[in-house]
Amino acid sequence: MQGDLFGEAVPWTPAEPPTQAASPANPASSTRRRTARVRIAPVAEDWRALARRLPASLRFGVSTWSYPGWEGLVWDGEYDPGTLSKHGLGAYHQHPLLRTVCVDRTFWRPLTAGQYAAYAAQVDEGFRFVVKCPALVTDAQVRGDEGKALKPNPDFLDPRLAVEHFVRPTLAGLGAKLGVLVFQLSPLSLGWLGRPAPLLDRLSLMLAAVRQALDGHPAVIVAVEVRDPELLGQALVDTLKAHGATFCLGLHGKMPPIEAQLPMLRALWPGPLVCRWSLNRVFGAYGYADAQRQHAPFDAIRSEDFHTRVELARAIRGIAGAGQPAYVTVSNDAEGCAPLSIQRLALAVAE
């Protein structure tokens, strides 16, 4: 396992990309269906044989499921985004390669136990959720509507808020279907980055409270994602180890490439893999809007990132192949179409 995950790169020949189902001849003239009955695309069944070749502990997923552009890939037809947001999860989870999903909306506003329970009711017992902690806990700044920092956040990494507004509602609503709690620390000011010891002390206190709240739920993974490369190092590793947490690979322009983050997992080995492939590095640290413009309607690979895919596949093979849990979620902003990126990743892992 060590040689595959952390050793020299191994030669790899990409498989032929999957053929995407044809869209309507004149999409502009088609009418999106507004119905609660969303169905899985028949072509999804073609991937069941590949899914059986993947490690049982590996779960792929996306970071939102309300995209009409996935017609013919995930959905059997063209649906209204609102319909997909409310009812698409029930179809999505039937895809053999999609065994998890990252609930990102919680970063902007906490959800109730009832809202989580509504998600859980749409999926089968084998499905698992990755959920992000609200920014009211993980952002050191209070921000305006456009993301501009307004003032320091007095509740940054507050243990009580983390438990009451995040851990308890997710557990109550999702139950055994909760897989990973992600604490993504937003980009920090120089004031915090220049004082890593107080920052890690705060993080340690919060993780201790989270671990206590998870007593009796040993399968739930706690993962910390950072947006500042200055935090990568032994001090963060020691903090995570002390509380049974892991490091979340955050793949986007704000952080170094995947190979520069893998030493964190080596230092935490043995342990799970949690990875969020959020943004292709060609768009830079803050290029989400540019990625959205270039990738819409998110029905094809338009910004292929072959390097990241190969390195991520190697890491998956090493970690999941050793029996450790592996959660890998992909955004449309990574290459243009998350389901197609996952299909290619799955082929790379199996090959």
Phi-psi region of 57 (alpha: psi -120 to 50; beta: other; left: phi over 0): alpha
% of the chain surpassing 90 pLDDT = 85
Picking from 1-15, 195-209, 299-313, which range would have the lowest pLDDT averaged per residue? 1-15
- Asked if pLDDT for residue 234 goes beyond 50, the answer is yes
Indicate the pairing of strand 141-143 with strand 149-152. antiparallel
Kindly tell me if the per-residue pLDDT of 236 is higher than 90.
yes
Contacting residues for 279 by C-beta, under 8 A, at least 6 apart: 251, 252, 253, 287, 288, 291, 331, 333, 334
At 198 the three-state DSSP class reads helix
d(Cα 329, Cα 327) in Å, to the nearest integer?
7
Q: What pLDDT shows up at residue 286?
A: 84
**Does residue 301 surpass a pLDDT of 70?**
yes
Whole-number Å distance between alpha carbons of 210 and 61 = 24
Q: How far apart are CA 263 and CA 249, in angstroms?
A: 11
Kindly report, residue by residue over 150-184, the tens digit of the pLDDT: 899 999 999 999 999 999 999 999 999 999 999 99
The pLDDT tens digits of the residues spanning 37-63 come to 899 999 999 999 999 999 999 999 999
Query: What structural domains does the chain harbor?
Result: 2-7+32-350 (3.20.20.410)
